[in-house]
């Protein structure tokens, strides 16, 4: 989905631009995946598992741009990529067409400045206008910053999934299913 770019000022007084990611952003997004997955234990991949090719990432981004109900929002400060937030359909069947999944992650140096909140609010607004009725996500236990943001924006916990992640040291973490209904 394409949108008109949106700008806002973060808590540090910087101008942040939000726009739909395009194929030209593919290399920045591959680099971002490697870094953010190394910065936090709360995302899905080990850093060495971010091995998508430039060609595949470009095709992936073009597919999202061409879709009517999905978006990858990219945040930029002075042209520098600060993070992403995406809205994706849960599935292509009619019975789940009211549901979307949300994902968000910023580079660590840009966390805590109010960017995540505006990015997620913008993504949820886009989802509502795309006629989704609820937004869903999974968050790993211990990710207090993310849970604080989700709860502030009206997400509610509705279940726990045991042993969602298993780390290199053999330890496990549960996840919480969270959901926000638009109605």
Ligand X SMILES: CC(C)(COP(=O)(O)OP(=O)(O)OC[C@H]1O[C@@H](n2cnc3c(N)ncnc32)[C@H](O)[C@@H]1OP(=O)(O)O)[C@@H](O)C(=O)NCCC(=O)NCCS
Q: Which is nearer to ligand X, 41 or 91 (CB)?
A: 41
In the complex, the smallest distance separating the C-beta of residue 83 from ligand X, rounded to whole angstroms, is 6
Q: Which is nearer to ligand X, 23 or 114 (CB)?
A: 114
* Residue showing the smallest CB distance to ligand X in the complex: 116
In the complex, the smallest distance separating the C-beta of residue 93 from ligand X, rounded to whole angstroms, is 25
* Helix, strand or coil, per DSSP, at residue 143: coil
Q: Which is nearer to ligand X, 54 or 112 (CB)?
A: 112
Q: Which is nearer to ligand X, 40 or 62 (CB)?
A: 40
**Contact positions vs ligand X (CB under 6 A):** 40, 42, 83, 104-106, 111-117, 137, 139, 143-146, 148-149, 152
* Helix, strand or coil, per DSSP, at residue 54: helix
In the complex, the smallest distance separating the C-beta of residue 153 from ligand X, rounded to whole angstroms, is 9
Note whether 101 and 137 are within 8 A (CB). Answer: yes
Q: Structure tokens of 116? A: 């995540």
Place of tokens 């997955």: 37
β-strand 134-140 against 99-106: which pairing, if any? parallel
Place of tokens 């061409």: 66
* Helix, strand or coil, per DSSP, at residue 25: helix
Bridge partners, residue 173, by sequence: 165
In the complex, the smallest distance separating the C-beta of residue 180 from ligand X, rounded to whole angstroms, is 13
Q: Which is nearer to ligand X, 62 or 99 (CB)?
A: 99
Q: In what side-by-side order are the strands of the sheet with 71-77?
A: 6-9, 15-20, 71-77, 80-89, 99-106, 134-140, 172-181, 156-166
In the complex, the smallest distance separating the C-beta of residue 90 from ligand X, rounded to whole angstroms, is 16
């Amino acid at each position: 989905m394409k949108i008109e770019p949106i700008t806002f000022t973060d808590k540090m007084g910087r101008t942040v631009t939000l726009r739909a990611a395009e194929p030209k952003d593919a290399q920045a997004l591959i680099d971002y995946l490697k870094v953010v997955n190394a910065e936090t234990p709360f995302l899905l991949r080990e850093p060495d598992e971010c091995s998508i090719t430039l060609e595949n990432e470009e095709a992936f981004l073009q597919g999202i741009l061409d879709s009517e109900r999905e978006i990858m929002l990219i945040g930029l400060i002075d042209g520098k990529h600060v993070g992403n937030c995406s809205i994706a359909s849960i599935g292509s069947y009619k019975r789940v067409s009211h549901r979307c999944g949300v994902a968000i992650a910023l580079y660590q140096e840009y966390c805590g400045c109010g960017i995540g909140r505006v990015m997620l609010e913008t993504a949820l607004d886009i989802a509502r206008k795309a006629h989704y009725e609820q937004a869903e996500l999974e968050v790993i236990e211990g990710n207090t910053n993310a849970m604080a943001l989700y709860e502030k924006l009206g997400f509610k916990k509705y279940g726990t999934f045991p042993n969602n992640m298993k780390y290199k040291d053999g330890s496990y973490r549960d996840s919480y299913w969270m959901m926000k209904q638009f109605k």
